[in-house]
Amino acid sequence: MFSINVPRLKSIPKAKNSLGLSIDDYKGAPSTLCGGCGHDSITQAIVEACFELSIVPHQVAKMSGIGCSSKTPGYFLREAHGFNAVHGRMPSVTTGAYLANREMKYLAVSGDGDTGSIGLGQFMHAIRRQLNMVYIVENNGVYGLTKGQFSATADYATTNKKKEKNGWLPIDLVGLALELGASYVARAFSGDKAQLVPLIKGALSHKGFAFLDVLSPCVSFNNHQGSSKSYQHIRDKREAAFDAVDFVPPAKAIELDYQPGMQERVQLFDGSQVLLHKTDHSYDPTDVEKALAYLRQAKAKGEIATGLFYVDSSAEDFHTVYQTTEGPLRNLEEVDLSPGQVVLDKINDALR
Amino acid sequence: MLKRTDTSDPSYYHKVVDCQYACPAHTPVPEYIRLIAFGRYTEAYLVNRASNVFPGILGRICDRPCEPACRRGRVAEQPVAICRLKRAAADFKDASYREHLPKIPTQKNGKKVALVGAGPASLTVVNDLMPLGYTCVLYDKKQIAGGAVAQQVPEFRLPREVLQEECQNIIDMGVENRLGTEVTSLQKLLDEGYDAVFLGSGAPIGRDLTLPGRQENAAYIQIGLDFLANVNFGHLKKISGHVLVIGGGNTAMDCCRTALRLGASKVSVFAPEGFDEMLASPWEKEDALKEGVHVVNNYLPQEFVAGANGLSGVRFQHLSSCYTAKKEFRPIPSGQPDLVLDCQMVVLAVGQEVQFSYAEPGLLALREGGRGIAVDRLTHQTSHPKVFAGGDAAFGASNMITSVAHGHAAAISIHLFCQGKDVAKDREKPSMTLRSQKMTLNQWAYVNDFSDTHRHHVPEHDLAERLNHLEAEVELGFDIGLALKETKRCLNCDVQTVFKEKACIECDACVDICPSMCLNIIEEPESEVALRAGLKIPAENLATDLFVATVPQTKKLMVKDENICIHCGLCAERCPTDAWDMKVFSLHLPKAGNL
């Protein structure tokens, strides 16, 4: 907690978005995380992305499980809906919510423990079912709430704060998401909002399962030498497939001036585009094989690959596959739910 | 490469404390406001006194350059009522403050200084030199100390006992009192063997208007300064009829309000400039309007018109504008027919001038292209090495707080001069101390909570009744409750955000939490113009600085726009490495006593 409430200053000329809201309208309660936590930067990046996209706060459902990361939905979009699920069970709760109301934006925040350990099975099935949601993992490689044990994403042979070595190989959530068919897969770093904010905007505009693995240093337990998830280490080893990213809203997408070869644009479902600045000319973000190969190569070189690895804007989502009703269930009238004897007879006849 | 901020120079942090920077005497405003908030009124008074010598007087009549400068006016509507809080410190102090006044050594240093005029500038010099063992001889034509403040400030703005208390504290230091003795010859004074002479003779001559009819109607026309002095000394107790005041400054407002109290049936003030251009302080205009003074703008007097039984009125020309863009007086008539205003008495408050008839011609070099004598802006020395000048006498009519600042500066020079040192080169440079306000995690030694209350109004004497009592003070001052509420509005600008760049890990915690969005970590642009435009909130106020430092990991810039910071300390609170800290800044200005 802070010593004071964060004041809202009316005389400071803060910008307004197309809804007439200021960035302060997208904030939440003060963070109770340690000062300097990467998660707070991701919170701010979500606030900035939602503000800039003029997202209507109450049309968002913030989903989370348990952990430092899963506390953060309290710190953004105070006007939004939210559900804080049991540890690792956020994906199934989101599945239920998405079944009931397909029109809301599902913005899920989880951690490497909530997703990589206790909730790994749930995570995999949410991808497999192509929920139309944004799934952000705030990945710091440690269990911060229980004072810094290695998590399942901690790299092999890195050390904890007491200089003990990790003897296990890490789970690569990005690789897993690509294998299981997530249709928007990216990795970013909490300390680089210039890359992170456009990636979140792209994820929010994408239709299908958008996965963001965000490296988020834990300043209290995992920001030392020997850690592969410290601010310094990530900055030293980061290699971006695309060194910067721009998000271009639908209205401006037409006038976009881009240089083929150097840049790549990816069309999203709603007409907006993600503009990628390539550092590797051969990279193709629509080819999942190349994405996997790129990740393996970076890993072999000891580099941390970041950027938007893969996008498939044509992927079918959960409701299309299931052929569910078009709107949210709450909109169904009695006549829809109980269409009467004539319809029942028709069905019965078809089964005779 | 853009220039990085050098915070080792005290002037950087000084400028951040807008009120203190704007105050000619550099009173540490936030420091005394905090003392008031803690109920330490006597200490608040003494902190004030060390800078401005007359907190009780200035708490009522100061020109308040601090208030338009106050950060609060930029980030949250109206400035803090600084002047009223100064008065609160003076009102609530206890008598023990006298024990802490400068101690006067019984052993004198053998140096003797004469002071011409007993106004605020001279009294400040005395206040600074007496504790060093000087013998000070104070001359004034009038029997009382205080100069223009005693003679021209109406009692309803400044009670006599407040004036006397603070002047007497200085006289009581053991001054050789020559009040009532007019200095008629500077040469004679120098011949008496003084080691230095300070000229603080003010700007006592009210300007006249040489218009047709001036001579014939002389009995009905008064000079504003004389009018006010006559009332203050009890020579003029009653007037009647319609009184017309000509002028647009604070003296004009005082004349109007005094005339109302003396029994004028109606008081009008005519100014050649527009309402907003008038030199009078906004609150003085406001008070005059509230009391029923008719303020008429854009009229230039042409003639005093005589009637059968004396003055019948004044003829005015209507102006379309009065000043050029460069603030030069260049009236342009609008072409409307002239206006003749009926009135029974005219008061002229159209400026005032210095008076050096006591200085023999050739003794002091004159100011180039202006009236008065040549005085050095820094040292206050005149062309005669032994003669120094300050207050209105030095550079023309200004205000009381400026005179106090002159007094301090001149005292340093006189002290250096009497020790045979160079008055310019041997002056000390300002220095500073910075003390961390961090107590423990999320706890600060200052109140960092932001109060978004509006400026509190000062209680006033009943409007109808005050006009019947010339001596009744209009402003009653804050009571303790109101004063405490008002102290909470101060943003503590002297509690500085101090950045230790080597410790920064670029986690963005400070940037993300800042409620005024004044912090930025950005790539270095080519110019300051681009930098200012590229901040999260573009830094359009060029009068305030940008703090610029390099952060270690990415070599980007940490940029803070000092214009809109509210000094809440949340950046330091969220900083995991203490790269940001909140440190209270104390400016140490050279004083005669420190040399």
Amino acid at B145: A
Cβ within 8 Å, pair A232-B507? no
Beta bridge partners of B130: none
Which has more confidence, A246 or B567?
A: B567
How far away is chain B from the Cα of A219, in angstroms, using its nearest Cα? 7
Best A1, A4, A224 member to test B by mutation, with max B CBs in 10 Å, is: A4
Pick B515's closest partner by Cβ from A8, A43, A219. A8
Cβ within 8 Å, pair A9-B575? no
- Residues contacting B316, CB < 8 A, separation 6+: B270, B299, B300, B301, B302, B338, B339, B340, B341
In this prediction, residue A276 has a pLDDT band, given cuts at 50, 70 and 90, of confident
Amino acid at B382: T
Beta bridge partners of A278: A242
Contacts of B505 in chain A (CB under 8 A): 36, 219, 223, 231-232
Nearest residue of chain A to residue B571 (CA atoms):
A35
Q: What is the mean pLDDT of residues A233-243?
A: 79
pLDDT, tens digit (0-9, with 9 covering 90-100), for A160-207: 999 999 999 999 999 999 999 999 999 999 999 999 999 999 999 999
Nearest residue of chain B to residue A232 (CA atoms):
B553
> In this model, does residue A39 exceed pLDDT 90?
yes
Contacts of A191 in chain B (CB under 8 A): 506-508
Tokens of B242: 């319609």
Q: Classify residue A145 as exposed, middle or buried by CB count within 10 Å of its CB (0-12, 13-18, 19+).
A: middle
Cβ within 8 Å, pair A219-B576? yes
Residue B593's pLDDT is 77
Residue A271's pLDDT is 81
Spatial separation of the C-alpha atoms in residues B562 and B75, rounded to whole Å: 11
Cβ within 8 Å, pair B508-A193? yes
How far away is chain A from the Cα of B75, in angstroms, using its nearest Cα? 5
Nearest residue of chain A to residue B513 (CA atoms):
A6
Pick B507's closest partner by Cβ from A9, A23, A38. A38
Backbone angles phi, psi at B96, to 5 degrees: -65, -10
> Residue A196 — left, alpha, or beta (φ > 0 → left; ψ -120 to 50 → alpha)?
alpha
- Residues contacting A260, CB < 8 A, separation 6+: none
Spatial separation of the C-alpha atoms in residues B262 and B216, rounded to whole Å: 25
Cβ within 8 Å, pair B505-A232? yes
Nearest residue of chain B to residue A5 (CA atoms):
B449
Residue A265's pLDDT is 77
Q: Which ranges of B381-462 does DSSP label H, i.e. alpha helix?
A: 392-395, 400-418
Backbone angles phi, psi at B48, to 5 degrees: -60, -50
The DSSP H or E segment spanning B250 is helix B250-262
Handedness of CA B32, B395, B355, B322 (dihedral sign): negative
Cβ within 8 Å, pair B508-A191? yes
Contacts of B576 in chain A (CB under 8 A): 34-36, 219-220
pLDDT, tens digit (0-9, with 9 covering 90-100), for A303-351: 898 888 999 999 888 999 999 998 999 999 999 999 999 999 999 999 9
Comparing CA positions, the residue from A197, A297, A163 lying closest to residue A241 is A297
Contacts of B77 in chain A (CB under 8 A): 10-11
Contacts of B442 in chain A (CB under 8 A): 1-3
Pick B564's closest partner by Cβ from A2, A3, A12. A12
Contact between B126 and B178 under an 8 Å Cβ cutoff? The reply is no
CA B98 from chain centre, in angstroms, equals: 24
Contact between B166 and B93 under an 8 Å Cβ cutoff? The reply is no
Q: What is the ipTM of this complex?
A: 0.90
Contact between B451 and B488 under an 8 Å Cβ cutoff? The reply is yes
Contacts of A7 in chain B (CB under 8 A): 450, 452, 515, 566, 568
Contacts of B504 in chain A (CB under 8 A): none
> Residue A157 — left, alpha, or beta (φ > 0 → left; ψ -120 to 50 → alpha)?
left
Question: What is the layout of strands, in order, in the sheet containing B266-271?
Answer: B221-223, B345-348, B242-246, B266-271, B294-297
Pick A35's closest partner by Cβ from B554, B566, B576. B576
Q: What is the rounded (10 degree) CA torsion for A317, A318, A319, A324?
A: 150
How far away is chain B from the Cα of A5, in angstroms, using its nearest Cα? 7
The DSSP H or E segment spanning B528 is helix B528-534
How far away is chain B from the Cα of A52, in angstroms, using its nearest Cα? 13
Cβ within 8 Å, pair B450-A11? no
Contact between B411 and B129 under an 8 Å Cβ cutoff? The reply is yes
Best B455, B508, B516, B521 member to test A by mutation, with max A CBs in 10 Å, is: B508
Contacts of A217 in chain B (CB under 8 A): 507
Tokens of A231: 């601010």
Contact between B521 and B511 under an 8 Å Cβ cutoff? The reply is yes
Best A11, A23, A32, A39 member to test B by mutation, with max B CBs in 10 Å, is: A11
Residue B30's pLDDT is 98
Contacts of A37 in chain B (CB under 8 A): 507, 509
Residue A242's pLDDT is 61
Tokens of B1: 């490469």
Nearest residue of chain B to residue A10 (CA atoms):
B76
Spatial separation of the C-alpha atoms in residues B414 and B394, rounded to whole Å: 15
Cβ within 8 Å, pair A11-B77? yes
| Radius of gyration over every alpha carbon of chain B, rounded to an integer in angstroms | 26
Best A9, A196, A220 member to test B by mutation, with max B CBs in 10 Å, is: A9
3-state secondary structure of B163: helix
Nearest residue of chain A to residue B76 (CA atoms):
A11
Neighbouring CB atoms inside 10 A of A299's CB total 15
Spatial separation of the C-alpha atoms in residues B135 and B108, rounded to whole Å: 7
pLDDT, tens digit (0-9, with 9 covering 90-100), for A110-169: 999 999 999 999 999 999 999 999 999 999 999 999 999 999 999 999 999 999 999 999
Contact between B26 and B20 under an 8 Å Cβ cutoff? The reply is yes
Beta bridge partners of B199: B116, B389
Exposure class string for B310-336: b at 16+ Cβ within 10 A, else e: ebbbbbbbebeebeeeeeeeebeeeee
Cβ within 8 Å, pair B450-A34? no
3-state secondary structure of A82: strand
Expressed in percent and rounded to 5, the helix, strand and coil fractions of chain A are 35, 20, 45
Contacts of A36 in chain B (CB under 8 A): 505, 507, 509, 574-577
Pick A41's closest partner by Cβ from B75, B512, B566. B512
Spatial separation of the C-alpha atoms in residues B113 and B299, rounded to whole Å: 47
Beta strands B438-440 and A273-278 are: unpaired
Tokens of B307: 């009637």
Beta strands B580-588 and B495-499 are: antiparallel
Residue A347: CA count within 13 A, CB half-sphere: 6
Map out the domains of chain A as residue ranges: 23-322
How far lies A221's CA from each of A37, A145, A187, B10, in Å? 10, 10, 22, 38
Cβ within 8 Å, pair A36-B507? yes
Residue A281's pLDDT is 61
Model pTM score: 0.91
Cβ within 8 Å, pair A11-B505? no
Spatial separation of the C-alpha atoms in residues A131 and B36, rounded to whole Å: 61
Architecture of domain A23-322: 3-Layer(aba) Sandwich (3.40)
Comparing CA positions, the residue from B287, B294, B303 lying closest to residue B271 is B294
Pick B517's closest partner by Cβ from A12, A40, A231. A12
How far lies B336's CA from each of A266, B278, B320, B333, in Å? 71, 22, 9, 8
How far away is chain A from the Cα of B25, in angstroms, using its nearest Cα? 30
Cβ within 8 Å, pair B516-A9? yes
CB pairs under 8 A between A and B: 101
pLDDT in tens for each of the 595 residues of chain B?
899 999 999 999 999 999 999 999 999 999 999 999 999 999 999 999 999 999 999 999 999 999 999 999 998 889 999 999 999 999 999 999 999 999 999 999 999 999 999 999 999 999 999 999 999 999 999 999 999 999 999 999 999 999 999 999 999 999 999 999 999 999 999 999 999 999 999 999 999 999 999 999 999 999 999 999 999 999 999 999 999 999 999 999 999 999 999 999 999 999 999 999 999 999 999 999 999 999 999 999 999 999 888 899 999 999 999 988 888 889 999 999 999 999 999 999 999 999 999 999 999 999 987 679 999 999 999 999 999 999 999 999 999 999 999 999 999 999 999 999 999 999 999 999 999 999 988 899 999 999 889 999 999 999 989 999 999 999 999 999 999 999 999 999 999 999 999 999 999 999 999 999 999 999 999 999 999 999 999 999 999 999 999 999 999 999 999 999 999 999 999 999 999 999 999 999 999 876 5
Tokens 């053991």: give the residue.
B174
Spatial separation of the C-alpha atoms in residues B356 and B205, rounded to whole Å: 11
Cβ within 8 Å, pair A7-B452? yes
Contacts of A219 in chain B (CB under 8 A): 505, 507, 576
Amino acid at B156: F
Cβ within 8 Å, pair A219-B74? no
